[in-house]
Structure 1
Amino acid sequence: MKYNLITSSITAFFIMAGAAATSNALANEKEIQANDLVEMFEKLGGKHPGYRKAHAKGLCASGTFVPAPNKHFTGAALLSNGELPVSMRFSVGGASPSSDEKAPGTRGMGMQIKLPNGTLHTFTGNNFPVFAGKNPEIFHGFLSTLLPDENGKSDPAKTMAFVQQNPSLQAHVMWNQNAKTAASFANTEFFGLHTFYFEQSNGQKTKFRWNIEPSLGVKTLEKAEVANMPTEFLADTFAQQLKDETVSFTIMASLGEAIDSDIDPSQQWPTERPKVALGTVTVNTSGGDACNNTNFDPNIMSAGFTPSADPVLRMRSPAYAISFGKRLSNQ
């Protein structure tokens, strides 16, 4: 099993024959807890005290958010207070702080916007549009098939059999097989994966999913280009882009309909759903360690916004809290 499949699957959660049937049964018999996932990440990626359990390698940045008020989010404090400060962190998939920047696959983004009253609104996303599994049990079962045996070898056939028996994994695995290396964090689109709601003062609810579009366009590297890149290039590339041009991202909200699932992050909504802009984030600086102790929990939102009942989204808060506690205590 390729390393980028392992890292993509792990970071999908923070930033998806007889042996497989047995694994599937076991996964569905046991209700997975947050600590089960954190421990699984450590088994797959190794223990790295003081670092995040996923997306360990990252780049801090800061900037400003300029809202784009619209009728679907009328009265939202997030969109009613003018320009707001933003703390950001871009990351590479994997549990190692030395994850390979040249490897294709997962890139992540965490963003916290601070409102005047101190309230935070968090956006946490990845560069893949679908999650690896419709619930924590399938996700955990999938990860368990990637564990090496007593000889240090994993069994790709076991993993693929599990994927075949669990259709909600298939779109993510397909994405991973076709993924290329991101040219820059500034040229990467990020997806929130989950469904959220906003309730206006008149009681009207807006069902939405968000994605973040880069103003500089999405760019990836071909294998020949990757071969000529230095081992680490993402931080320097981003810093140079900040010097040469404006680096910004537009936060877009896709408006869902009743038939669109709000509990299954492994399913994409139809592309024809209407989209509105929530605002634009312009990055001003990068580097430093200001974001190192920030917990980018996507369930931390400003007034009027609420999370859906998506079981993967609900699992993120306790899993992030456990990882955050371990990181602060150098575990």
Structure 2
Amino acid sequence: MAGAAVTGHSRKMGASFAKGRCVRGTYIPSDQAGEITRSLSFTRPSRVLARFTVGGGNSEMRDADNIGLRSFSFRLGDVHQRSEIVTQSAPVHFTRTLHLLRAFLRSRIPGPDRTANVDEVDAVSAVDPEMLHHASDVGARPQPGSFAGTSYWGVHAFPATNLKSETRFIKFKIAPVGVEVSRTERDARAKSADFLLDDLESRITARDVRFSVMALLDRPGDPVMDATIRWPDEDRREAVRLGTIVITGFEANEACDEPVFNPANLADGIGHPPDEIFAARRAAYAISRIRRG
């Protein structure tokens, strides 16, 4: 309820990441996928249903007006072996526990003047210093200039079991094949209100939207219970390419409404992360689907 109070109510879209576009494509596994997971959704070719979104609850906002997250959610596999992965353009979540998540959202509920109470926001941030990890990361990164030219992270540590029944933790990173595309605020304001969607359309037409699905591999002692913390030396550690996603066309946005891309929907071989925020998200996505019906 707090999330809807912050961003407003809508029965046809979520309280967050309301602006986006539904797309389709294909997934081609790498020869190494089975070394990391036995999940048939990652070791077999399949169709892909996906959605690119802009953070925030206003579906009519200009792309240049939002300096927050971008998201890429996708579904692999078939009806019997399906995985739905939710990723974002920052490698960490903004809170560590459900209690702090509620406090974060409540502190941002607009008052009578339609603005949040700055003192309450600062008070929550003081109690939850981990929140600064997320804010610092988003603030330090160049703003995405293209959905197709942005890296996305799964933020949680997923237990993955391979074909030898060996289990280890991985983090998902979805990396564009080619160069990353960033922009300055001045560049963005000179573009159309929907420049990210316009860019996506032109790239799909040119058959230029491809991502590597990467598994970042754990090391002894890595934090797996806190989604606000990156693994040490995460950007330079060992990673395995599970496969490649190629986006080939658009789907009606309604096609992405039914599955909601619930991160709890994972085929055997990829387990649920053990942290508290993932458990909260599992329940929240299901409730969101019911209330948007």
Above 0.5 in TM-score?
yes
Moved over 6 A (4+): none
Secondary structure of 1:124's match?
Answer: strand
Instruction: Rate the CA distance shift 1:252–1:151 in 2: closer, same or farther, 3 A.
Output: same
- C-alpha contact 1:93 1:107 (8 A) present in aligned 2: yes
Q: Is 1:275 paired with 2:204?
A: no
Report what 2:26 is aligned to.
64
TM-score by length of 1: 0.81
Instruction: Rate the CA distance shift 1:126–1:80 in 2: closer, same or farther, 3 A.
Output: closer
Report what 2:116 is aligned to.
154
Report what 2:272 is aligned to.
307
Q: How far, CA to CA, are the matches of 2:163 and 2:205 in structure 1? A: 43
Q: How far, CA to CA, are the matches of 2:115 and 2:200 in structure 1? A: 37
Deviation at 1:214, TM superposition (A): 0.7
Instruction: Rate the CA distance shift 1:300–1:281 in 2: closer, same or farther, 3 A.
Output: same
- C-alpha contact 2:98 2:276 (8 A) present in aligned 1: yes
Instruction: Rate the CA distance shift 1:151–1:199 in 2: closer, same or farther, 3 A.
Output: same
Deviation at 1:245, TM superposition (A): 4.2
- C-alpha contact 1:110 1:296 (8 A) present in aligned 2: yes
Q: How far, CA to CA, are the matches of 1:61 and 1:153 in structure 2? A: 35
Instruction: Rate the CA distance shift 1:164–1:79 in 2: closer, same or farther, 3 A.
Output: same
Q: Give the alignment partner of residue 49 of structure 1, picking from 2, 6, 11.
A: 11
Report what 1:18 is aligned to.
none
Gap runs ≥5 in structure 2: none
Q: Deviations 1:249-298 (Å, cap 9, x if unpaired)? A: 00111111231111110000122431111100001002522223222011
Q: How far, CA to CA, are the matches of 2:238 and 2:205 in structure 1? A: 35
Report what 2:167 is aligned to.
205
Where does 1:174-323 land on structure 2 (aligned, <5 Å)? 174-178=136-140, 180-200=142-162, 202-270=164-232, 271=234, 272-289=236-253, 290-323=255-288
Q: How far, CA to CA, are the matches of 2:248 and 2:289 in structure 1? A: 26
**Number of aligned pairs?**
288
Deviation at 1:137, TM superposition (A): 1.1
| RMSD, aligned CA | 1.9
Q: Deviations 1:54-77 (Å, cap 9, x if unpaired)? A: 211110110000001326326442
- C-alpha contact 1:186 1:216 (8 A) present in aligned 2: no
- C-alpha contact 1:197 1:305 (8 A) present in aligned 2: yes
Gap runs ≥5 in structure 1: 1-38
Instruction: Rate the CA distance shift 1:309–1:238 in 2: closer, same or farther, 3 A.
Output: same
Report what 2:73 is aligned to.
110
- C-alpha contact 1:235 1:287 (8 A) present in aligned 2: no
Q: How far, CA to CA, are the matches of 1:160 and 1:112 in structure 2? A: 37
Instruction: Rate the CA distance shift 1:85–1:154 in 2: closer, same or farther, 3 A.
Output: same
Q: Give the alignment partner of residue 122 of structure 1, picking from 65, 77, 84.
A: 84
Q: Letter of the 1:96 partner, please give it.
A: N
